[in-house]
Amino acid sequence: MKKTLIISYLFLIAFVGSSFANEVNIFSARHYDSDVQLYEKFTAKTGIKVNVISGKSGALEKRIIEEGADSKADLYITADAGRLGAFEANLQGGLTSAAIKSAVPSNFRTSKWTGIAKRARIIYFAPERVSGAELAGLTYESLADPKWKGRLVIRSSNNIYNQSLVASLIKNNGKGKVADWSKGMVSNMARSPKGNDRAQILAVAAGEADLAVANTYYLALMLSGKKGPEQQAAAKKVKPFFPNQDGRGTHMNISGAGLVKSAPNKANAIKLVEFLLSEEAQNHIVNNTFEYPMIKGVSPHPLIVNMGLDFKQDLKTKVVNYGKRQADALEVMTAAGWK
């Protein structure tokens, strides 16, 4: 009898599930442990419970779409503007409060989604093998120059950071030019694209290549020692370079949150976004993920400060273009044979 009771109890909770009135539900493709701590702080402050389901962006988006009006998702959090832009049809306007508008510059948000933190996609080089003269005036565009033949590493074309970078190039230079550029990039690659951004930086440190394209926070992560002493030592062998300084500036991207169309807890979701943009939360983010703060008045992590803060950011190319030009970006890269 006892057994039957226990079993029926197990099945009962399977059916019923738990449900709280005061909650906010997050579908997160950016699931750092430090984010969880941040949500706990929010709950402590407001009493609003934060439920998270993390996963790969594609699967999360698909679930939201298929669940349709029944979806419990309030916020969709991801580490790339391109994702939010491409997903806009399933988001709703509402992130327009004064707090959000004053915190986030207009090129990093729409009414449906907003940036939470910034990252730059930059170039890393091996000072032993690349001279200052060679680097002078380096742009994303000039990475396709034949002088870098066999010296460049970058990850694969299905990576969203690359898709967003190429989308911004298409926005600025046109699809035709970027198609040629992609071919030049492929012929400059030191190896067939593999591994993540960190692996590209390590390849330069190990001498497999002279230049790597990767996001800013990866180098700081390695320098911090969180990846072990070997990678800390390896990171010291490469130097960051911020491209396009004479022109529109370095490519910027965001970690951001979008308000889901069917959001059952819209008000709570907006509260959470406002909290993520508060000084307290921003300090927590930059010190754990090594991103740049979205709001003024918060200093990035010292390791990021050391990489240099006085570079020119590309604030001209609105990040909303990353989603709009994503299909074009993928098309030109695939056509060029970019794996």
Partner 1 sequence: MTKYNIWFFSSIIIASIVALPIITVFLSFFSETSSYYSLLKNTFLYEYIFNSIIILFFVILITFFLGVISAYFLSFYEFPFSNFFSWALILAFAVPGYIYAFSIIAFFENYGTAFSLLTFLFGENNYNLVIPKIDGIMGAIFSISFSLFPYVYVLTRASFHYQSNNYIEVGKNLGLSSRETFFKIILPSARPAIVAGLALVSMECLSDFGTVSFFSINTLTTGIYNSWLSFDDLNTANQISFILLLFILFLFSIETFSRKEAKYHQPGRGFKPILKIKLVGKKALTPFIICSVILFVSFLFPVSQMIYWSIKFPKYFHNLNIINLNLNTLYLVLLASISIIIVSLLINYGGRVSKSKILNYLTNFSVSGYAIPGVILAVAFITFFSNISDILSENLNIKISKNIFIGSIFGLILAYFIRFFSLSFNGIKSSYEKINNSIDESAYLLGYSKVQTFSKIHIPHLRTNVILVMLLISLEVIKELPITLILRPFNFETFATQAYIYASQDLLEAAAIPSLFLIFWSSLLILLSSRYILSKKN
Under the rule (CB under 8 A), what is the footprint of partner 1? 7, 10-11, 13-15, 17, 25, 30-33, 51-56, 58-59, 61-63, 65-68, 70-72, 156, 158, 192, 194-199, 202-203, 205-208, 227-228, 230-231, 233-234, 334
Instruction: Determine the Cα–Cα distance for residues 67 and 56; give it in Å rounded to an integer.
Output: 17
Cβ 74 vs Cβ 25: under 8 Å: yes
As measured in angstroms, the least distance from the Cβ of 230 to partner 1 is 4
For partner 1, the closer of residues 306 and 334 by Cβ is 334
Token digits for 246?
């004479």
As measured in angstroms, the least distance from the Cβ of 32 to partner 1 is 7
Angular region, 32: left φ>0, alpha ψ -120 to 50, beta rest: beta
> Backbone phi, then psi, for 121, in 5-degree steps?
-100, 110
As measured in angstroms, the least distance from the Cβ of 296 to partner 1 is 28
Q: Whose structure tokens read 């706990």?
A: 40
For partner 1, the closer of residues 23 and 314 by Cβ is 23
As measured in angstroms, the least distance from the Cβ of 18 to partner 1 is 9
In 3-state terms, what secondary structure has residue 188?
helix
Amino acid identity of residue 229, one-letter, is P
As measured in angstroms, the least distance from the Cβ of 339 to partner 1 is 9
Token digits for 134?
């060679």
As measured in angstroms, the least distance from the Cβ of 165 to partner 1 is 17
As measured in angstroms, the least distance from the Cβ of 164 to partner 1 is 14
Instruction: Determine the Cα–Cα distance for residues 118 and 291; give it in Å rounded to an integer.
Output: 6
* DSSP codes, 236-268: TT-EEE---TTTT-B-EEEEEEEEBTT-TTHHH
As measured in angstroms, the least distance from the Cβ of 269 to partner 1 is 14
For partner 1, the closer of residues 102 and 158 by Cβ is 158
For partner 1, the closer of residues 146 and 229 by Cβ is 229
For partner 1, the closer of residues 6 and 309 by Cβ is 6
For partner 1, the closer of residues 90 and 172 by Cβ is 90
Q: Name which of 247, 55, 79 is nearest 164 in CA terms.
A: 79
Instruction: Please name the helix (run of DSSP H) or strand (run of DSSP E) that holds residue 285, with its range, or none.
Output: helix 279-289
As measured in angstroms, the least distance from the Cβ of 313 to partner 1 is 24
For partner 1, the closer of residues 244 and 253 by Cβ is 253
Amino acid identity of residue 132, one-letter, is G
Quickly count: other Cβ atoms within 10 Å of residue 14's Cβ.
Answer: 8
Query: HSE (CB half, 13 Å, CA atoms) of 16?
Result: 9
> Backbone phi, then psi, for 75, in 5-degree steps?
-125, 140
> Backbone phi, then psi, for 33, in 5-degree steps?
-60, -35
For partner 1, the closer of residues 24 and 165 by Cβ is 24
For partner 1, the closer of residues 26 and 122 by Cβ is 26
Alpha-carbon dihedral sign for residues 145, 149, 151, 153: positive
